[in-house]
């Protein structure tokens, strides 16, 4: 199914219809402001799949980091500190 792009104004004026089409029809929407995408509307099932995939990826990434740390002779605490430091370095700051 194709993703439909809508302006913020269109979403505001057709909100109920868009929610119904998303929830019951599985349609996806990209919300744009001044022609730039700012959000996505998708149903809960798709969102939950996305979250599960992200969690699985994170678990695999951390397992690889732990293996690398173990091979490098780092302790679990040292590896954890490095992971925390890297997360903070890439996390957007408000």
pLDDT at position 20, please? 96
List the Cα angle 17/20/21 in 5-degree steps.
85
pLDDT at position 67: 81
Q: Which domains does the chain have, with CATH numbers?
A: 4-42 (3.40.1620.10), 46-90 (no CATH)
Which pLDDT does position 34 carry in this prediction?
A: 96
Q: How many residues does the chain have?
A: 94
| DSSP, res 27 | -
Q: Is 6 helix (H, G, I), strand (E, B) or coil?
A: strand
Q: How far apart are the first and last CA of the chain?
A: 36
Pairing mode of beta strands 4-7, 29-33 = parallel
Per-residue pLDDT in tens (0 to 9) along the chain, 94 residues:
689 999 999 999 999 999 999 999 999 999 999 999 999 999 999 999 999 998 888 888 878 877 887 788 888 788 788 778 877 777 776 5
* Cα 94 to Cα 32: distance, rounded to the nearest angstrom: 22
């Amino acid at each position: 199914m194709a993703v439909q792009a809508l302006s913020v104004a269109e979403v505001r004026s057709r909100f109920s219809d868009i929610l119904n089409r998303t929830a019951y029809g599985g349609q996806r929407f990209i919300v744009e402001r001044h022609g730039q995408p700012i959000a996505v509307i998708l149903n809960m099932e798709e969102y939950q799949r996305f979250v599960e995939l992200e969690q699985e990826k994170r678990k695999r990434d951390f397992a690889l980091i732990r293996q690398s740390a173990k091979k490098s002779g780092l302790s679990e605490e040292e590896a954890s500190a490095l992971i925390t430091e890297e997360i903070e370095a890439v996390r957007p700051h408000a």
